[in-house]
Structure 1
Amino acid sequence: MINKKFKENIFGYQPTKKEKQKEQTMQLPDNFSSDQEICMHFDTGAEPFFGAIIPPIFGNSLFVYPTHEEFVQAENDQKNHYVYSRGTNPTVEIVEKKLASLEQGEQCKCFASGMAAITAAIFNSVQGGDHVLCVSNIYKSTMDLLIYMQKFGVRHSVVYSTSKEDIEKAIMPNTKLLYLENPTDMNLQLVDLKFIGDMAKSRGIRTIIDNTWATPLFQKPLTYGIDIVVHSASKYLGGHSDLVGGAIITCGEIMRDLFKKEYLLFGGTMGPREASLLLRGLQTLPLRMKAHQENTMQVASFLSSHPSVKRVNYPGLRSQRNLELNNKQLTGFSGLMTFELINANYEAVKAVINKVKIFKIGVSWGSFESLIMSPNFGNNIDELIKEHISPGLIRLSIGMEPAEKLIADLEQALK
C-alpha cells in the first residue's frame, strides 16, 4: 500500500495557508539546532519513503493525476506541485530545502550548473539599459556572461577595490545590480557584506553574491542584507568531483518571479540523479570542510614563509588583511587559496606546476583531491595586470591528502 503522506505529496496535495507560511520561512524544527544536523537529517525522514534511509531517486520526467481538475490545479501552481521534473521533483526538492535552511533563506532552486544559476539570477535582476557593478575580481565565466549581455543593452564595470569609498564612487545612476564574491576571485580579498547590503538597499540596487568559496557553513550573506546567494554545487557542496550543479537561495518574493521566468523558461534545472549525489555530499559537508580548513591552514603557513613566495592569499592566515571582517563574517575557511611567486612570469609558474606530483593539474576545486592551476596562460599577461592579478599567481585547492605530504610536494616543486 502506498504511504498516505507520500501519495498526497505526489498527487497535488494543496497545503493550508499556515503550512505555506511555514514552508516559505523555512523555520527549522526545535531539534535541529545546527548546520550539521541540517546536512545530515533535515527533511529526509524515512517515513514518506517506506523506511528507506536514503531518499529514492525520482527519475521520472512527469507526474500524473487521477482527475483533470487536480491536474489543472497542479498545472496552475507548478511551484508547489509535481507536474514535470523541469519544474519540481521530490529528490531535488529535498536538496533545495536543505540549502535554503543552511543559508537561512526562504527558498532555493537547484540548477544544472553553477553558471546556469548565475545566469538565471543576473537575468532576473536587470533589463536593457541597466548597469551592473562588479566588486573586485569575480569568476571569469561570470564576467564573460556580462560581456555577452551587452548585446541586450546591459552594461557593466568593475571596481578593483573593496573599500567602501571606492565602491560607492563606482555606482552609476543606472546601476541596478551589485555582483560580488566573498572572498573575491583569485586575490581572495574580503568585502564588507553588511555595508554592501545596507548601501544597496538604500539606493534600490539588488545584490548577488557567489558564496561557493565559504559555503553556507562558514558564511551566510542573506543575514547581512544580500538579496540573492548563488552556489556552484560542483565544488564543496558535492565534494566528490562527480557532480555539476548550481543553486540560488533568496526570498520568496524574488523566487516566485524567478521560478516562472528564468527557471522554467531557461530550462537549466538540476536532474534527480545529480540531486541525489548532492544529498550524499551534504551529509559529509561539515566533516569535509573541517578537514579542508585544517589542511589549508598548514599549507598556507608553510608557503607564507617560503623564500620563493612573495605573498599568500588566504583569509585564514592571521596576518591576512581585513582580520576584523574575518572574525565578523566568516566562521571558518575553506580549502581554496592562492600564492604569488617572487619570480612572477609564465616560465616560473609553468615550472612549479609541472613539477608537482600529488597535486593534479585541472580546473574546478572543492573536492577530495588537491588541484593546482594558474590563470597565467602565457599569452594573457596584459589582461591579468588589468585585472590586478599577479602573473606569478598559482591557485591551490587543498584536498584530503595528509597536509605534510602536500607541503613536501610543494617544497620540492618550489626548489
Structure 2
Amino acid sequence: MDISYILNELGEDRELYFNAVAPPIMQTSNFAFKSFADLRNAFADEKSTFLYSRGTNPTVDILQKKLAALDGAEDSIVFNSGSSAIFCSVLALVKSGDHIISVQKPYTWAYRMFDNILPRFGVSTTYVDGTDLANFEQAIRPETRIIYLETPNTLTYELQDLEAVAQLAKKHNTVTIVDNSYCTPLYQKPHAFGIDLSLQSATKYIGGHSDTVAGVLTGSRELLQKIFSEQALNTGSVTTPFNAWLLLRGLRTLPMRLERITQTTHTVLAFLKSHPKIERIIFPLDEDFPQLELAKRQMSGACGLFTIVLKTDSHERIEKFTYALKHFLVAVSWGGHESLILPQAAGMEPAAFDATQERHRMARVYVGLEDADYLIKDLNQALSLL
C-alpha cells in the first residue's frame, strides 16, 4: 500500500462529513442506535462499531486504520500514552505463574511494570542481553508467554535480531512484543520480521509537534481484539478524539519531517565526531557502531536521536555546557520540532558523579527541525566550556 495513499486517503470517507478535506473531531461520548439488532451487534463487538468513545470513535478509527497500514498489520489500537500501550498489551497476555523475557534496561515504565506490578500477581521476568540470541534461548521456559524487545533502545541503541527472536518465539508458542519508538514504521517494520505486536510512543514522531501524548499498538486482529476487550476497555486508556485529530495532522508530514531530521542529524554528527571535547558518539548507523550490519539489515534509516560521551571529569562542567546551549531544550522525549538534550549527570547528585563511568558522561541529543548550521554553532560554543 502506497504511503501517500495511507497518509492522505485511507479511512477518509469525506462524503460522510460534508466533503470536508480534514476529518472532523467527532467530539461525542455516546452513539445512538436505530434498532435492537444494531445495539446487540455493538455490544458483541465494540472494537468494530461505535458504541461509546471510551472504546472506539470515528476520528480515532481513521487514525487506527492508517497506523495499522503503515506497520503492515491487520489492526491497531491508539492509547492515551506509550506506557498504556505497554501495560495493556502485556497484562492481557499473562496470568499467574507465567514468565516474561525482557531485554535489559527497557523503557522505565516497562521496567517498573515487570518489577513492581506483575510480581504481585505471580508473573516473573528475566532480563537478558538482547544482542545475543543465545541469551533468549537460555532464558526461555515452558511458562514463558512474552519476549519483550526494544530495538534500538534510546540511550546506547543496542539492537535485537528481530527475525531470529521471532523464529525462536514461534517454536515455543511465545508472543513477541517490540517497542519501535526509535524507528517508527517508516524506518523499521517489525511485523515483516515475524514480530507479533509492535508498539511505539506516538507522542514522538507521529505527533511531531510536542503537543499531545499517545501510544500505538499494532498486530493481528485476533491479538488486538483480546487486548482491546480485556485491557483497553477496562482501563479506559484509548486515546481521545481530539488527540487522534492532532496525530492525524502529524501523520500528514511524517515522511518529510523524518527526511529533514535525518539529513540534519548526519551533518551534526559529522561535526561532533571530529570535536576534541567529544569522546565518542553512539548512533545505530554510525560506521563505528558495533551492530551496524544488523542495523542496516532491519532498519531502513535512523533519525534524530543519538548519544554523545563528553570528555570531562566534572559534573559542574557538564551542567555549564548543558545550560550554555541556547537552542537545545533540556527535556525528556524526542520527535517534535524542537532540539533537546538530556545529560545522564542530571539524574544524579554531584557527589555521585564518577567520571570513570562512561554512562555518567553521556548526554542524549535529539535533533529537531532547525537548520544544521544553527545547531552546530550552538553546540560548538557550549562545548568550549567543558
Q: Assess if the C-alpha contact under 8 Å between 1:137 and 1:186 holds in 2.
A: no
Check whether the contact 2:153–2:182 (CA below 8 A) recurs between aligned residues: no
* 1:75 corresponding residue in structure 2: 43
Q: Distance in 2 between matches of 1:243 and 1:389?
A: 34
**CA distance in 2 between partners of 1:365 and 1:127 (Å):** 34
Counterparts of residues 34-183 of structure 1 (less than 5 Å): 34-149=2-117, 150-183=119-152
| Cα pair distance change 1:178/1:345, threshold 3 Å | farther
Q: Is the 8 A contact 2:81 2:215 kept in 1?
A: yes
Offset from partner CA, 1:67-118 (integer Å, 9 cap, x none): 3332222222212211101111000000000000000001001111111111
Query: Quick one: structure 1 residues 348 and 138, their matched pair in 2 at CA, closer, same or farther if it must change by over 3 Å?
Result: farther
Moved more, 180-189 or 216-225: 180-189
The answer to whether the Cα contact below 8 Å between 1:384 and 1:390 also exists between their aligned partners in 2 is no
> Does residue 277 in structure 1 map to residue 277 in structure 2?
no
8 A Cα contact 2:353 2:360, kept in partner = no
Seen in structure 2, the aligned counterparts of structure 1 residues 325 and 148 have a Cα distance that, compared at 3 Å, is same
Who is 1:398 aligned against? 367
Secondary structure of 2:359's partner? coil
* Aligned 8 A contact 1:239 1:367 in 2: yes
Kept after mapping to 1: 8 A contact 2:130/2:160: no
- Give me the TM-score of the superposition, normalised by structure 2: 0.93
How far apart are the structure 2 equivalents of 1:254 and 1:358? 43
Tell me if structure 1 keeps the 8 A contact 2:344–2:359: no
**Paired amino acid for 2:77:** K
Task: Determine if contact 1:136/1:180 at 8 Å carries over to the other structure.
Answer: no
Q: Determine the structure 1 residue equivalent to 2:348.
A: 378
Tell which deviates more after alignment, 148-157 or 284-293: 148-157
Evaluate the alpha carbon distance shift between residue 286 and residue 380 of structure 1 in structure 2; reply closer, same or farther with a 3 A threshold.
farther
Residue 222, structure 1, aligned to residue 191, structure 2? yes
Equivalent in 264, 267, 290 of residue 233 of structure 2: 264
State the one-letter code of the partner of 1:221.
P
Q: SS of 1:78's equivalent? A: coil
Q: C-alpha distance in 2, partners of 1:133/1:342?
A: 36
Matched with 1:205 is 174
Shift of 1:161: 4.6
Question: Which consecutive aligned stretches of 4+ in structure 1 deviate over 6 angstroms post-superposition?
Answer: 380-385
RMSD of equivalent CA atoms: 2.1
CA distance in structure 1 between the partners assigned to 2:195 and 2:223 by the alignment? 12
Q: 1:382 to 1:147 in 2, by over 3 A?
A: farther
Q: CA deviation at 1:37?
A: 3.1
Letter in 1 for 2:328: F
Q: Which runs of 5+ in 2 are unaligned?
A: none
Asked if 1:308 corresponds to 2:257, the answer is no
> What displacement does 1:340 show?
1.2
**What fraction of aligned residue pairs are identical, expressed as a percent?**
36
User: Could you tell me how far 1:220 is from its partner in structure 2?
Assistant: 0.4
CA-to-aligned-CA distance 1:299-353 (integer Å, 9 cap, x gap): 1222222222222111132332222222211111111111112336533432321
Equivalent pair of 1:367/1:399 in contact (CA under 8 Å)? yes
Matched, 1:292 2:261: yes
Query: Whole-Å Cα distance in 1 between the matches of residues 154 and 141 of structure 2?
Result: 23
Which residue pairs with 2:320 in the alignment? 351
Cα shift at 1:168: 2.5
Counterpart contact for 1:297–1:316, Cα < 8 Å = no
Q: Is the 8 A contact 1:40 1:284 kept in 2?
A: no
SS in 1 for 2:77: strand
Deviation at 1:382, TM superposition (A): 8.1
TM-score (norm 1): 0.87
Amino acid in structure 2 at the alignment position of 1:391:
H
SS in 2 for 1:47: helix
8 Å Cα contact 2:344/2:361 also seen in 1:
no
CA 1:137–1:292 in 2, change beyond 3 Å: closer, same or farther? farther
State the alpha-carbon separation in 1 of the partners of residues 196 and 233 from structure 2: 21
